[in-house]
Structure 1
Amino acid sequence: MSSGLGKGSLSDPFPKLAPVTAPSLAAQWRRPGPTPEQRRADVLIGLAVTVLVLLNMTLTTSAGVSVFGGRMPILPEQVFWTLAICLPLCWRRRWPEAVALVVSAAFIAAQVRAAPEQQLTSWVLFGAIYALGAWGRDRWRAKWIRIAITVAMFVWLFISLAIFLGRAQPNEFEHASGVLPPLFAVVVNGILVNVLIFGFAYFFGEIAWTSARREHELELRAEQLRASQAEARELAVSDERLRIARELHDVVAHHVSVMGVQASAGRRVLDKDPAKARVALESVEQSARTAVDELRRMLGLLRQSGDAVDVTAGGVDRLDELLGNAREAGLRAELGVYGDPVELAESLSQAIYRIVQEALTNTLKHAGATTVDVRIRYLAHEVEIDVTDDGRSVLVGQRTGGMGLIGMRERVSAHDGVLETGPAVDGPGRRGFRVRARFPLTRVAVEA
């Protein structure tokens, strides 16, 4: 059997992709069939190859060249075998299994009939086996069909070699000049060439199928990544909106609550004591200006570019200002610091400031209290904030879980802390409401 090594129809890309780490997924994957464009390309390629092989057959016949010697079949039969071998390439990617079986059977039959064209048809056989490896949807069946074709071809190879050697004349190799025995050289050459042809057809077909599978996996991963990125963006926007809402609530609610208390006090004493009313109105004016300034600062920061925008304000060092506002609103406010103060991370200091601010706001709005006690305790491994008033201990309004307490829980959770809210129960007959938060100092040390 005369064979040639060619590229066949290696039209599939071989990108360098990441190795597949899920064998089960590889075993279950089925390569999609060819697209309409690929089908049209296969038809054009099959027709072009058929015309080329017919031309070569005409040249071979005209030159009287026959691979097996002896009498060649008539021209119509030669054309028939050429068409039987080449035309199936028009459907090589649509029905790769059937094409491989038909081409291989026609190839052997043409050699049995001593058809003169065996040069380009060997490449056609290579392309059919490659297409089966690259496009076979059932991998188990594609594997064993290729093995069966290869075994059949080698069986026919040994038969044809036996026929050739049986017909060889005594002077068949009289012009041989190599160092090896002629018969040995003929046998080894036939085996070696066919091993290369069928081996490369099998190997390149597997590579093409693996590349297609990996490209599919990359597309799936890219789609998952895009979905994850979209989800992450949505979560980031949601988190940012919640953070802004929390900050706006903390800023606006506190100052508006102070303004409401002062305005109410001013209204009550307006006729009896205009001086006290004037002081109350001045406090309202100052609180309004402070609120506007903080809102303006927050909006300015939000307009800035950057990944992280800090819209918080204040820290532990500004708690005196908060208690000053509470005193102006009529509360007796006390601040106590216990233990040895340590340097806190900026985020934790701001969280403490906001928690105390929200607790004071709730006291002014809902408690009907006259005193509020704020304590900061620096313990061995924790810092504790305790805000207690002597107002109503019934959980109403914001105390039942409005935006204020939600914001507190979020801030405490962000620093791995613990939040406790509820009636104050320090002694018999004690009434009031308590907000207590504890933060671990180990986390703060790491951040610092």
Structure 2
Amino acid sequence: MLGSVSIETSDAWQRPGPTAEQRRLDLYAGLAATALALFSLTLARSTGAFVLGPPPSGLEQVLWTVAVPLPLIWRRRFPAAATLAVSAAFVVSQVRAVPEWQLSSWALFAAVFTLGAWGRDRRMSRRLRVGVIAVMFIWLGVYYMLSYGKITGNAFADAVGPVPPVLALIVNGVLVNGLFFGFAYFFGETAWLAARRQHEVAQQAERLRRSQAEAREHAVVGERVRIARELHDVVAHHVSVMGVQASACRRVLDKDPAKARLALASIEESARTAVDELRRMLGVLRARDGAPDRAAQSAGIDQIDAVVDRAREAGLRATLGVYGEPMPLPESVSQAAYRVAQEAVTNVLKHATGASLLDVRVRYLAQEVEIEVTDDGRATRPTNTDGLGLVGMRERVATHGGALEVGPRTGGGWRVRVRLPLPVAAGRLA
């Protein structure tokens, strides 16, 4: 029976020791079992039912009766030692014919069960339990052998079954003890396996909690990056344009008041546009249902001409060329194209020394849209890969699986070229 028990455990895991509360419960349970064993001994002595033979002295009976259940006080703290102590005391009490055996038997059951449920060394725990059970069956055999010679001729006078009485007695004893120890072994393994699975569930729950916390943290970081990128694109562009226009206004304020008024009007318009874009962006950020109004959406590729117009107002000879047949683009692609063009124009206004010509080209190709911004300034700008503007462009392009080229042109000046792939539904083949 014992060999048929299926054990699906992992010897690598060790069950944590008992808590302080569990140790207190073991103390109370061990003392209660000892008290009940003494009460059972009193009842056995009172009935004179000495089934194991003539008992020893009363003091020895008390000592062995206490010795069997008392180690249960440490059953979960030291399960192996407690099992050995209970087993040894049980066998000796049986050999000495102590009349109390009912509570002692259940103490032995509890010790074997606890060793299976709490033994930290699984291999040693199994071997020790099998060894204890084997010793108990050996003792059972020895007891039957010693008792066989004491059987009187009329001991089975009332037997009526088909099985010989002695054989029936032996089979009954083996069957009862087999079920007794088999259940102790099986339930111990089951309790240990349940504890291991509970530990695994707790670990999985902790990993899930950490994963959710990391996901929330990444989402927060991603949202902060997105907000920072949007703020940079909106504020940097318009402030740069206003800075250029304010400089022009200062130079012509006394000489040509008409041009100065025109520059001031452009500054006013740029400020108003910047505020409108900030309001649109905040509208998108505040939207909770994921579907904000169209008025709250950011600008798209069809508004690149406004960026070029502001560059003209800043004093550049700016041109815009659209090549290919314009087609509806996904909102995210359209916004990315606009922001990249806006940032490229901002960089021309801020960094292009001596630039007078700005050329912006939008190309609608079969499977992608291309934005190219060039100027004729002196190519003295360092390629700062850590700049917020360039980082923002790279992030936007990478989000859509596109390609970004930034660097000086062969004939002088600077080029920013972006290719954004189009979904199949937006392409010409759709």
Alpha-carbon contact 2:11-2:121 (below 8 Å) kept: no
Q: Aligned runs of 1:33-432 on 2, under 5 Å? A: 33-68=17-52, 70-305=53-288, 313-367=298-352, 368-396=354-382, 401-425=386-410, 430-432=411-413
Q: Displacement of 1:375 after TM fit?
A: 1.4
Q: 1:434 aligns with which of 415, 424, 428?
A: 415
Give distance in 1, aligned partners of 2:107 and 2:9.
32
Give distance in 2, aligned partners of 1:308 and 1:232.
23
Q: Displacement of 1:353 after TM fit?
A: 0.4
* Larger relative contact order (CA 8 Å, sep ≥ 6): 1
Give distance in 2, aligned partners of 1:437 and 1:390.
19
Q: Displacement of 1:188 after TM fit?
A: 1.4
Q: Displacement of 1:340 after TM fit?
A: 3.4
1:279-333 superposed Cα distances (whole Å, 9 cap, x missing partner) = 1111111111111222233334434435798986111111122112222222222
Q: Displacement of 1:29 after TM fit?
A: 2.1
Q: Displacement of 1:441 after TM fit?
A: 2.5
Percent identical pairs in the alignment equals 60
Give distance in 1, aligned partners of 2:273 and 2:423.
35
Partner of 2:406, secondary structure, is strand
Alpha-carbon contact 1:423-1:431 (below 8 Å) kept: yes
Deviates more, 1:118-127 or 1:300-309: 300-309
Give distance in 2, aligned partners of 1:194 and 1:444.
76
One-letter amino acid of the structure 1 residue matched with residue 401 of structure 2 = D
Which residue number in structure 1 is paired with residue 4 of structure 2? none
Q: Name the CA shift for 1:86/1:443 in 2 (closer, same or farther; >3 Å).
A: farther
Deviates more, 1:200-209 or 1:331-340: 331-340
Give distance in 2, aligned partners of 1:192 and 1:64.
27
Q: Displacement of 1:66 after TM fit?
A: 1.9
Q: Name the CA shift for 1:39/1:159 in 2 (closer, same or farther; >3 Å).
A: same
Give distance in 2, aligned partners of 1:445 and 1:178.
91
One-letter amino acid of the structure 1 residue matched with residue 416 of structure 2 = V
Deviates more, 1:179-188 or 1:387-396: 179-188
Q: Name the CA shift for 1:265/1:244 in 2 (closer, same or farther; >3 Å).
A: same
Q: Displacement of 1:224 after TM fit?
A: 2.9
The two structures, once aligned, show a CA RMSD in angstroms of 2.4
Structure 1 length normalisation: TM-score? 0.88
One-letter amino acid of the structure 2 residue matched with residue 289 of structure 1 = R
One-letter amino acid of the structure 2 residue matched with residue 32 of structure 1 = P
Partner of 2:163, secondary structure, is coil
Alpha-carbon contact 1:424-1:433 (below 8 Å) kept: yes
Q: Displacement of 1:171 after TM fit?
A: 1.3
Question: Would you say 1:30 and 2:14 are equivalent positions?
Answer: yes
Give distance in 1, aligned partners of 2:45 and 2:207.
59
Deviates more, 1:217-226 or 1:268-277: 217-226
Partner of 2:69, secondary structure, is helix
Number of equivalenced pairs = 419
Unaligned runs of 5+ in 1: 1-22
Q: Displacement of 1:257 after TM fit?
A: 1.2
